[in-house]
Amino acid sequence: MNIYLYFFSIYFLFFFVFYSEHVRKFKLLKAIKARMRNKKKGAFPMVDVVLKYMNSNVAVKTVDSSYLGKLVRTEENWIVVFEGEKQGEASINLDYVTSIKPYKGKVK
């Protein structure tokens, strides 16, 4: 009887993990589609948020990755983040940005 409970718990754990990841991706894609619709209307709400953090250390999260560095400049719907001497600069499209937060630590 214990073996069935063990397999059921493993199956439930895998189902829960994969389903929660699927829901998270779905919500992110839904937010991106809403931003794209607003962009067609001419509204750029993320640009106003980004200007608040200009020339400061930020943590930027996108749909599939995250960046940690100094926000150097903005160009239309793009931001440039300087991640350090080794990584250099990263250009990020604001349509795919999910969050921007100030970062208090040092950037390597």
Q: Is the pLDDT of residue 83 over 80?
A: yes
In a 13 Å sphere around the CA of 107, the CA atoms on its Cβ side amount to 22
**What is the per-residue pLDDT for 47?**
75
**Cβ–Cβ < 8 Å for 77, 47:** yes
38 burial via Cβ count (<10 Å: 0-12, 13-18, 19+): middle
Q: What phi and psi, each to the nearest 5 degrees, are found at residue 82? A: -90, 115
- Percent of the chain at pLDDT exceeding 70: 90
Long-range contact list for 49-55, CB < 8 A, 24+ apart? 49/100, 50/74, 50/79, 50/94, 50/100, 53/100, 53/102
Kindly indicate the confidence band of residue 59, based on its pLDDT and cuts at 50, 70 and 90. Answer: very high
Which stretches of the chain are assigned E, i.e. beta strand?
57-62, 66-75, 78-82, 89-93, 97-102
Asked whether the whole model's pTM tops 0.85, one would answer no
Tell me what pLDDT residue 14 has: 77
- Which stretch of 8-12, 45-49, 77-81, 87-91 has the lowest confidence by average pLDDT? 45-49
Q: Name the residue with higher pLDDT: 55 or 30.
A: 55
Task: Give 47: exposed, middle or buried? Use CB within 10 Å, 0-12, 13-18, 19+.
Answer: middle
